[in-house]
A and B are shown apart, each in its own frame.
Chain A
Amino acid sequence: MNEKSQYSVMLFKAVSYVLKAEKILKKENLPHKLIPVPKNISSDCGICLRFDPALQNKIEAALLNKVEVEEIRALRD
């Protein structure tokens, strides 16, 4: 998932939410990557999940009612 391409990031309110979401996605075998929140979104030292936009529906469904997602943004390298 490091190729120069389109990708999406999922932002959460707190680091603990990211970790919880990550555990769920790992269990569901949904590829994702934990990365620092891109600087153009926020200069805070935040963490978010990066994923392939094609998986957005599946990822959202997996997290539904389990982890509160703040925002999803489509980005490009």
Chain B
Amino acid sequence: MSKTKIVNARGLSCPQPVILAKQAIETNEQVKVIVDNETALENVKRLGTKQGCDVQVEKKNDGTYEINLTRKAGAIVTKEEFVPSCDATPAASGPFVIVISADTMGRGNDELGNVLIRAFLHTVCQQKEKPAVMIFYNTGVKLTVQGSEVLEDLKQLESEGVQLLVCGTCLNYFEIKDKIAAGTVSNMYDIVETMSRAGRLLVP
């Protein structure tokens, strides 16, 4: 029984783990690759399968994975280039923006839609990654005025640095401009400008 070569790829990001694993399996019968993220896990697994290895994965309590690659008898290690699918981290240079275009989420039933948008906003509040800006227009502006059930969530988001832009035309149309209780009254220039430079634009 041959010795197992251990490749510690913790803390390394794609494509480093798969490159190290490939080098190791080219010269060793058995390789144990330790990774700490799922992208690396999937890529190393794919590499193993492609190289004709038996692949066993063990998930550790500390969140790392041990991938045991054992070359099957007769398996020929290919030297060909293996291209790992690294997470195409979007070159999102602009801010993360959420657009609330109605006081409902989805189309169909408004009562249900209102329940969903409230649940949505509550959940946004609890996410680690908060948007930089939230834009409210059409009936979405009704969520920002006195008596809104989500005021508490919106105020919390504001206090955490999320900018809330509320369409002034819309507040005006619904005659609730004097009741705004969260966010700042904004206009189409700011809205278009913010949407245009967004790295990611999410519309629930």
Q: Taking beta carbons and an 8 Å cutoff, which residues of A are in contact with B? A: 1-2, 15, 18-19, 33-36, 47
Contacts and interface: CB of A to CB of B under 8 A. Distances in A.
Interface of B: 111-112, 115, 118-119, 122-123, 125, 149, 152-153, 156
Contacts, number: 25
Main secondary structure of the interface of B (DSSP, over half): helix
Q: Which of B122, B123, B152 neighbours the largest number of chain A CB atoms within 10 Å of its CB?
A: B122
A47 B112 CA distance: 11
Nearest to A3: B156
A1 B118 CA distance: 14
Contacts of B125: 2
A36 B31 CA distance: 44
Nearest to A77: B126
B152 A34 contact: no
A1 B115 contact: no
B149 A2 contact: no
Contact of B156 (A2, A15, A47): A2
Contacts of B123: 36
A35 B118 CA distance: 7
Given A2-B125, A19-B111, A34 B153 contact: no
B122 A47 contact: no
B111 A34 contact: no
A2 B153 contact: yes
B152 A47 contact: no
A1 B152 contact: yes
Contacts of B153: 2
> Which A-B residue pairs are the 10 nearest by beta carbons?
A36-B119, A35-B122, A2-B156, A34-B118, A47-B115, A36-B123, A47-B119, A2-B152, A35-B119, A2-B125
A18 B111 CA distance: 12
Contacts of A15: 112, 115
A16 B42 CA distance: 42
A19 B115 contact: yes
B115 A34 contact: yes
B119 A34 contact: yes
Contacts of B115: 15, 18-19, 34, 47
25 contacts: A1-B152, A2-B125, A2-B152, A2-B153, A2-B156, A15-B112, A15-B115, A18-B115, A19-B111, A19-B115, A33-B122, A33-B149, A33-B152, A34-B115, A34-B118, A34-B119, A34-B122, A34-B149, A35-B119, A35-B122, A36-B119, A36-B122, A36-B123, A47-B115, A47-B119
